Amino acid sequence: MSKRRVIPGFGLSMGFTITYLSLIILIPLAALFLKAARLGAAEWWEILTSPRLIAAAKLTFGASAAAAAVSTVFGLLVTWVLVRYRFPGRRLLDAMVDLPFALPTAVAGITLTAIYAPNGWIGQYLEQWGIQAAYSPLGVFIALTFIGFPFVVRTLQPVMEDFGSEYEEAAATLGAGRWTIFWRVIFPMFIPALVTGFTLAFARAIGEYGSVIFISGNLPMQTEILPLLVVSKLEQFQYEAAAVIAAGMLIVSFVLLFFINLLQRRLNWQNR
Amino acid sequence: MPHRSVTTESPWVRRLLIAAAFVVLSLFLLLPLAAVFAEAFRKGWEVFLASLHEEAAFSAIKLTLIAAGISVPLNTLFGVSAAWLVTKFRFRGRSLLLSLIDLPFAVSPVIAGLVWVLLFGAKGWFGPWLADHDIKIIFALPGIVIATVFVTFPFVARELIPLMETQGSDQEEAAVILGARGWQIFFRVTLPNIKWGLLYGVLLCNARAMGEFGAVSVVSGHIRGETNTLPLHIEVLYNEYQFSAAFACATLLAFLALVTLGMKTAVEQLTGHQSSNHK
């Protein structure tokens, strides 16, 4: 190193951080990929194209995307209200948004099931309409929306707070109505943050386990999600198959993470 | 009457949107929370108390406290060290390191448990060696601890890095010039500046550690009274159709969540807003 560092502790913090990161995260993840790589391409193909896995993947990605989309719409509404308006109970509303972060997933799972079960608080009314919420793909969607919601709000909130009123004022002086201003001026500025929030909620939903398994009913080919399939392979001592499915899920997650990082960079640039 | 401004909506639209936000959040977030307590007390106080006053519940609470008691300090140490490294120094690979710290957020809890089974399980890389030396990791306390450490890994670091980044290094540099030594700088200059952010990071890490389900469920083996943490105990009770007992135990974790949220709001008040931006 050419430049002398003024503040002490570089060697110590670097050494500890890298060692700990390697032991806890990098080596175990590498072991997973090594385990999966023990199987040949043909076996990978066989595992990844089995009908049960394809059904689970369809449900996982489909429900996650739908849940993230609904979270984004609700998230936009709630963030708008939180940032733009002042009203009694605003701080309470703001604190409530984090509830799905703080509530353990198993607790969320059993309580959502209790609410949406055929005799539950909401489930009984849905039942009258002939809609089965718990123990169906709809239940998976409900749980994943619950989990993903805060990601959208917490991503959008700082962006909306920094958004000055000068653009709106300029648009208003040019004769634009409130509705036009929202769709043509304000909304386009929030698109990167909304996409980031959507992607975060989506990525989280793909891996979600605890809140889903109680409400989904876990029927193979029907309401089984990918993480549950990993667990069931593990319980049958099919370690390699579990590792292959997990490796596939990780690759998808890493691609999403990379995409989020790109977007985040764009966001920072935009806010500068 | 206030002026009608061009940068906000008419009072009616405003009220409508606020009402909509309240309805969405109440139905969606508050109702599940209320249901936890309603279900727990459905059969009355006696059943509620009896469910908590039980051998298996005690051992689950104890195990949860032990697992969090080990993993939270470890990850706090890491969080402080990583935040110090990333915010006080500029070096090659810094942005890669930042991404790697975030990595566990992108890993499914189930996979966070699976990696340890692949390493230390009976058929794992070190499985035979561990069996020869009679060391149990999977289906035992060490497995539960390392799975929890994996899942709660980024929380403290994530909380501290943005905070220390905005605070800069001026005060630490001044301390160096005045002759302060390494640990002196940390305890006398840095720590007082970051204490609230650190506290919140630790609370968040702790809430997640005590509530972790997926990762722990994979490595625990569900041995009743031995390797069941509180969330796993809830699952067992629920699957045995002891709903009131399951929800009674769930109220403990729901209460922990409420305390964590309350502390978050308090910390934000104290530090003047802008605490965390979860990822």
Task: Quote ipTM for the complex.
Answer: 0.89
Interchain pair A25, B103: CB under 8 A: yes
- pLDDT, tens digit (0-9, with 9 covering 90-100), for B59-94: 999 999 999 999 999 999 999 999 999 999 999 999
Asked if the Cβ–Cβ distance from B8 to A84 is below 8 Å, we say yes
Q: Quick one: residue B134, left, alpha or beta (phi over 0 = left, psi -120 to 50 = alpha)? A: left
CB of B40 within 8 Å of a chain A CB? The answer is: no
Of B36, B89, B150, nearest to A25 by CB-CB distance is B150
Confidence of residue A261 (pLDDT cuts 50, 70, 90): confident
Tracing tokens 């104890």 back to the chain, one arrives at: B62
Instruction: Report the residue from B21, B85, B106 with minimal CB separation from A203.
Output: B106
Residue A117, domain extent:
40-270
CB contact under 8 A, B278 and A91: no
In a domain, A103, yes or no: yes
Could you tell me which of A246, A68, A17 has the C-alpha nearest to residue B107? A246
Residue A55 pLDDT level (bands cut at 50, 70, 90):
very high
Whether A1 maps to a domain, the answer reads no
> Which chain A positions have a beta carbon within 8 Å of B121's beta carbon?
239
Positive or negative torsion for Cα B12, B14, B15, B17: positive
Q: Is residue A12 part of a domain?
A: no
Residues of chain A numbered 98-157 and touching chain B (CB < 8 Å): 98-112, 114-115, 120-122, 145-146, 149-151, 154-155
Q: Which residue from B14, B260, B43 is spatially nearest to B155, judged by alpha carbons?
A: B260
Residue A26 lies in a domain: no
- Can you give the CATH number for the domain in which A78 is found? 1.10.3720.10
Asked whether the beta carbons of residue A246 and residue B124 sit closer than 8 angstroms, the reply is no
* A263 part of a folded domain: yes
Structure confidence by residue, pLDDT tens digits, A160-198: 988 877 888 888 888 888 888 888 888 888 998 999 999
Q: B72, B111, B171: which to substitute to probe chain A, counting the most A Cβ within 10 Å?
A: B111
Assign 3-class secondary structure to chain A.
Answer: CCCCCCCCCHHHHHHHHHHHHHHHHHHHHHHHHHHHHCCCHHHHHHHHCCHHHHHHHHHHHHHHHHHHHHHHHHHHHHHHHHHHCCCCCHHHHHHHCCHHHHCCHHHHHHHHHHHHCCCCCCHHHHHHCCCCCCCCHHHHHHHHHHHHHHHHHHHHHHHHHHCCCHHHHHHHHCCCCHHHHHHHHHHHHHHHHHHHHHHHHHHHHHHCCHHHHHHHCCCCCCCCCHHHHHHHHHHCCCHHHHHHHHHHHHHHHHHHHHHHHHHHHHHHHHHC
Inter-residue contact B81 to A16 (CB < 8 Å): yes
- Within 13 Å, how many C-alpha atoms sit on residue B70's CB side? 15
**Residue A177 counted as domain residue:** yes
pLDDT digits (tens, 9 = 90+) for B30-52: 999 999 999 999 888 888 998 88
Phi, psi of A249 (to 5 degrees): -65, -40
Encode chain B (279 residues) as per-residue pLDDT tens digits: 444 566 677 888 899 999 999 999 998 899 999 999 999 998 888 889 988 888 889 999 999 999 999 999 999 999 999 999 999 999 999 988 998 998 898 899 999 999 999 999 888 889 889 989 988 899 999 999 999 999 999 999 999 999 998 888 889 999 998 988 888 999 999 999 999 889 989 999 999 999 999 999 999 887 777 889 999 999 999 999 999 999 999 999 999 999 999 988 888 887 765 444 443
Contact B109 A209 (CB under 8 A): yes
Let me know if residue A133 belongs to a domain: yes
Nearest CA in chain A to B28: A146
**In A, which residues are within 8 Å of B6 by CB distance?**
168-169, 172-173, 178
Among B224, B270, B198, B176, residue whose Cα is nearest residue B60? B224
**Does residue A32 belong to any structural domain of this protein?**
no
Q: How many domains does chain A have?
A: 1
pLDDT at B179: 87
pLDDT of A270 reads 61
**A192-231: per-residue pLDDT in tens?**
899 999 999 999 999 999 999 999 988 888 899 999 999 9
